[in-house]
Amino acid sequence: MILICKSHDENNESHEDVIDWLSYHNAKFDFLSGHDYYENGNDWSIELSNSKNESSFFSQEYQSIWFRGFMRYRSHFKETINSLDSTNDNIAELRWRLGQETAKTNSQIFKSFEDSYQLPNPKSTKVDKFSILRLAEKIGLQIPISMISNSRKKLLEFYKKHGDVITKPLYETVYFRDESSAIFFKTDKITEESIKSLPEKFFPSFFQRYVEKDIELRSFYLEGKFYTMAIFSQLDPQTKTDFRNYNTEKPNRNVPYLLPKEIETKLRNLMKELNLNTGSIDLIKTPDKRYVFLEVNPTGQFGFVSKPCNYYLEDEIAKTLIQHDQ
């Protein structure tokens, strides 16, 4: 039996496509999300003693796990927190502490399928961009000059020395909103004006030298194989910094691409070091033909690579899960 692990409210077409292929190949599968543990009110326990080590949640054996996520902290305990009569500071701290506790509980939950095949291992998905860059650099991949800093002075020096700078979250690219506002942790270009408008000390943030692009590359990695796509974002000023500023009239050209063998070998080593058997890898090919590694997203999207390149990644993923479900 296959277990599809995803956050309860996460629904996207790529997931549906993989599920269609699983059904077509007559695979048996179940779903699991944090919702089942935290919100659904099902009884469960994880027991440990000198004579006992068991988890009561599953009545099934799952040989093959597809890990796409588990929960979004924000949606949990909402009513309890809203009903608290406390200061904003206290509530913020409470949320944070609960998040910490939840993460620890989750890692105990994931223990119960530690011996199964996992695509990928949930433990390996919790890695930050800076650590990955350190590792990539050690392995011999080219990386953009990177810095974490809290200082306007340091940032200005960095800018003067290296030219254009971007900032992005160290951890996940996230987007959340309520009725009045939306917050988006994403990649942005930093200008000299925006640096000057910053306070002298700010929240420690992640900066990188902007890398000139000939083309952007997205490579979906699955069990040693690379499915790479070139994005011609430079043809369009609207998508020059970040191709996600989609131009719907004239979408960027996306075509299949073959990475040089030595780059693939290094990336394979990197994935091995990160204990990741799958992930979406971002690279840039510069006008002077250097391949610059940017990041790995262990549970990144793949539909946008699969469809324009006719890779049928959805079926490849389904077949990989089935192969290990024996």
**Site residues for other proteins per CB under 8 A:** 17, 20-21, 23-24, 230, 232, 235, 250-251, 253-258, 260, 289, 307-312, 315
Between residues 161 and 250, which has the closer beta carbon with respect to other proteins? 250
Q: CB 296 → other proteins: shortest distance, Å?
A: 21
Q: CB 41 → other proteins: shortest distance, Å?
A: 25
Q: CB 220 → other proteins: shortest distance, Å?
A: 15
* C-alpha 156 chain-centroid distance: 30
Q: CB 32 → other proteins: shortest distance, Å?
A: 21
Rounded distance between C-alpha atoms, residue 160 and residue 261, angstroms: 36
Between residues 208 and 228, which has the closer beta carbon with respect to other proteins? 228
Rounded distance between C-alpha atoms, residue 9 and residue 295, angstroms: 26
Q: CB 262 → other proteins: shortest distance, Å?
A: 13
Between residues 36 and 236, which has the closer beta carbon with respect to other proteins? 236
Contacts of the segment 21-27: beta carbons below 8 A, 24+ positions apart: 21/314, 21/315, 21/317, 21/318, 21/319, 22/318, 22/321, 22/322, 24/318, 25/318, 25/319, 25/322, 27/2, 27/318, 27/321, 27/322, 27/325
Between residues 108 and 323, which has the closer beta carbon with respect to other proteins? 323
Report whether 297 contacts 244 (CB < 8 A): no
29-51: buried (b, 16+ CB within 10 Å) or exposed (e) per residue? beebbbbbbbeeeeeeeeeeeee
Q: CB 140 → other proteins: shortest distance, Å?
A: 20
Between residues 164 and 315, which has the closer beta carbon with respect to other proteins? 315
Between residues 200 and 249, which has the closer beta carbon with respect to other proteins? 249
Between residues 190 and 283, which has the closer beta carbon with respect to other proteins? 283
Rounded distance between C-alpha atoms, residue 294 and residue 267, angstroms: 11
Q: CB 267 → other proteins: shortest distance, Å?
A: 16
The helix/strand/coil state of 52 is coil
